[in-house]
Homo-oligomer: A and B are copies of this chain.
């Protein structure tokens, strides 16, 4: 008898957690991802700002198979899912399409940027979801300074040195602070014709305040800190147009050669293939057990799922994704052991929510507890190192942070070029 097959789509926090939970299970587990690596998303903005190298926050998905005998990993793109037949169509990288059968399915494909119906913004305002995005943004930021240094006129120069960030959620805030730090410290004395400290960073938010997912008192402190770093924060300001030269925000034109988008998310297109109820952002509206209403063997977890708890949505953070992935993995394991096992409802246990604002400052909220400042920042650093997968990633990140902290330098200031081969 062949063991039942559980297929997991997506090797992010949720997918990896689900796969691990099936370790001791009499199942054939297949993890499919378009990328060959898992990334530690909370530090992605540090790759975009040259603090960390891509490999510092990435670990090869295939390495999971080393410690889990019932797990296979496939690098490929899924183009169709047929829930009723229990099959999906996948194209492994560089090969022909094939159909794969599944008994259990975990969809953990996360989200991508949403431009709220303005997909034409994407070309001029890249978003930050993958390592490739982070490297592309890093190249844009560093290249802007190179152009500013060589600019012939003051208009061109100031446009090159103006950065507009759309969206003041945690990613926008962390990115803005890190960019400000780079401008004021790292790049000092590296140029002859420009003063990087004159960099203008504008953080634009359509909603009424920054860090909407945090308590208002923490958001206020965050904005004060950003302003101290020289970041202009504009809330209640909608971006109506983006082009290669700047944005139109709240009726005002801002000339900026670099625009970055961290404003909204939508579920990966895979969710739509499930033909199930979704919310406005395309996330699957799952049952309390995280499976679909009409199919107890198909789960959607992590950012791709819309899960309500006590009347509030469970936030799209790493902790929630990990807990959801584990829940789905456990539910499948129980079903495989005993085919009539029901799926208990999922409960998100809030371990706290953090955002870091440059050097020596972070905000933390956990339940009714709120704190901010240098001790919080230190806690943030310790926790983020501790949660990184792989010992050598932890070592590398610690050394890099210590080095950056003491010297102000960033070691991954690379503008990639195309390979020298045609």
| A interface list, Cβ under 8 A from B | 34-37, 53-56, 58-60, 62-63, 65-66, 72-76, 92-95, 112-113, 119, 122-123, 126-127, 129-133, 135-136, 142-143, 146-147, 149-151, 187-192, 390-393, 395-396, 399-400, 403, 407, 409, 411-422
Contacts and interface: CB of A to CB of B under 8 A. Distances in A.
A418 to B, nearest CB: 6
Contacts of A192: 65, 72
A191 B62 contact: yes
Given A74-B149, A92-B147, A133-B419, 14 more contacts: A36-B413, A37-B414, A53-B54, A59-B411, A62-B190, A62-B191, A72-B192, A73-B190, A75-B143, A95-B150, A112-B420, A130-B420, A396-B411, A399-B399
Query: How many copies of the polypeptide does the oligomer hold?
Result: 2
A126 B421 contact: yes
A391 B403 contact: yes
23 contacts: A35-B415, A35-B417, A37-B413, A53-B56, A55-B411, A65-B189, A65-B191, A65-B192, A73-B190, A75-B143, A75-B146, A94-B143, A112-B420, A113-B420, A123-B421, A126-B419, A126-B421, A130-B420, A132-B418, A133-B419, A392-B409, A393-B411, A395-B399
A420 B127 contact: yes
A380 to B, nearest CB: 21
Contact of A147 (B94, B189, B403, B415): B94
Contact of A414 (B55, B119, B390): B55
